[in-house]
Structure 1
Amino acid sequence: MSQLPWHDALTTELAQLQAQQRYRRTMVREGAQGPRVVVEGKTLLSFCSNDYLGLAADPSIRAAFCQAVAEEGVGAGAAHLLGGHSQYHHQLALALAAFTGQQRVLLFSSGYQANLAVLA
C-alpha cells in the first residue's frame, strides 16, 4: 500500500481505463492538418480540427499570414479592448459589417468565446 491515500485508487482507475481501451494519451500527427491526417502511420479522417472551412493550407491564406508576420511579428499583445486591435482585425470587422449589412460588428477574441456565445 502506498503512503498517499489516493495513490492506490488512482492506479486502479488508470488500469481499468487501459483495460477498457479508454485511457487517453497524446499522439503525434505527421504533416499538416487537413481533412485527412496521418497518425502513427494510419491515415484517418479528422473530426477534431479547428480548420472548419479547410483554409489552413490555402496558398493565399498562407501567403497573407507570412506577410502579416513579416510586417507585424507574432503574438496577441493584449486584449484589444485595452490596447487596441490590429489593422487586420479592424479591416476584417469592416468587411464583415459590409457583408452582413450591419453598421458595426464585434469580433470574439477566440474560437472558444464564439462557441460559448453560440451555445449559451
Structure 2
Amino acid sequence: MTNNVLNDFLEPQLQALREQGLYNTIDTVEGPNGAKIKVNGAELINLSSNNYLGFSNDDRLKKKCIEATEQYGVGAGAVRTINGTMTIHNELEERLAEFKHTEAAIAFQSGFNCNMGQFPLS
C-alpha cells in the first residue's frame, strides 16, 4: 500500500470520527502535574491524574529522587525480567514485605505487569 492509498483509506474514517465527536486528541500538560494543571494556556482542575496523593510535586520526594538518580542513574537499563533488577528494587521489596508482615513482596513496573503477575495465562 502506498502512502496515498493508505491516506485515502484512513482520512474518511478519521473524518467520520471527528464528526461523531469520537476522535481523540491528547492534551499536553504545561508544567507539573498536580491538583491544578495548565492545558493550552488554561488553568484546569485535574480530575484524571494518578497523582491523587500529590507525591509528584512533594519536595522531600523530589530530593530523594535526585539522590537516587545520582547513585543509580536515570533508569534500570532494561526491564526487570532481563537484567533491570537493581539493589534498590530488592531493598524496596524487603521493606514492603516487612511492612506487610509477609515472607516476600514484589514491586511491578506498571499496572499492566501487576495484572499479568496476578492472573497467569493458561
TM-score (ref. length: structure 1) = 0.77
Structure 1: how far apart are the matches of 2:105 and 2:113?
A: 15
Would you say how many aligned residue pairs link Structure 1 and Structure 2?
118
Pairs within 5 Å for 1:78-89: 78-83=78-83, 85-89=85-89
Structure 2: 5+ residue stretches without partners: none
Q: CA deviation at 1:67?
A: 0.5
Structure 2: how far apart are the matches of 1:91 and 1:108?
A: 14
Deviations 1:29-68 (A, max 9, x none): 1110112211112222334333243211111110000001
Counterpart in 2 of 1:60?
60
In 2 relative to 1, CA 31–7 (structure 1 residues): closer, same or farther, beyond 3 Å?
closer
Pairs within 5 Å for 1:82-97: 82-83=82-83, 85-97=85-97
Pairs within 5 Å for 1:11-22: 11-22=11-22
The structure richer in helix per residue is: 2
Q: CA deviation at 1:108?
A: 1.4
| Alignment root-mean-square deviation, CA | 2.7
In 2 relative to 1, CA 111–71 (structure 1 residues): closer, same or farther, beyond 3 Å?
same
Pairs within 5 Å for 1:91-106: 91-106=91-106
Note if 1:40 corresponds to 2:45. no
Structure 1: how far apart are the matches of 2:17 and 2:96?
A: 47
Counterpart amino acid of residue 22 in structure 2: R
Counterpart in 1 of 2:75?
75
- Contact kept in structure 1, 2:76 and 2:84, CA below 8 Å: no
- Contact kept in structure 1, 2:108 and 2:114, CA below 8 Å: yes
Structure 1: 5+ residue stretches without partners: none
TM-score (ref. length: structure 2) = 0.76
Identity of matched residues, %:
30
Shifted more, 13-22 versus 110-119: the winner is 110-119
- Contact kept in structure 1, 2:29 and 2:37, CA below 8 Å: yes
